[in-house]
Amino acid sequence: MAVRAVRGAVQLERDDAGHMHEQVSALMTGVLERNGLTTDDLISVWFTATPDLHSDFPAAGARKLGIADVPLICAQELDVAGAMPRVVRVLAHVETELPKSRINHVYLGAAAALRKDIAQ
């Protein structure tokens, strides 16, 4: 079993805790489903949020999804002029048999523009 990293992001329509939980849930569900993973395959998950998001921690949305016994951490993205607003990013470390070339990185909605080279 190998340790792999899976990236992803989603742009929120507004800074609202309920909306954030919904979008983070969709993002994490996409990461798991598109890579044939379960929550037992998660080792740890890093979330970042752009500085314009204040309503809640992205990890709270993952906890509501049922990701309970996995270390989660949140950090703030760099405040870069011209960067896409209201974005939550994820870097999940997982155990999987998939080779690096078969990992599906998940960029939802407008966030797909952030990494056109790897967005699925």
The domain that holds 56 is classified in CATH as 3.30.1330.40
| Range of the structural domain that residue 103 is part of | 2-113
Tell me the pairing of strands 106-108 and 72-76.
Answer: unpaired
Q: Among residues 68, 71, 115, which one has the least CA distance to residue 89?
A: 115
Q: Which residues belong to the annotated binding site?
A: 7, 89, 107
Determine, yes or no, domain membership for 119: no
Q: How far apart are the C-alpha atoms of 13 and 88, rounded to whole Å? A: 11
For the sheet containing 2-11, what is the strand order? 72-76, 42-49, 87-96, 2-11, 106-108
Determine, yes or no, domain membership for 42: yes
Task: Report the chain's terminal Cα–Cα distance, integer Å.
Answer: 24
Q: Please write the tens of the pLDDT for every residue from 66-104.
A: 999 999 999 999 999 999 999 999 999 999 999 999 999
Q: Which residues belong to the annotated binding site for prephenate?
A: 7, 89, 107
Structural domain count of the chain: 1
**DSSP state for residue 110 in the 8-state scheme:** G
What pTM did the predictor assign? 0.94
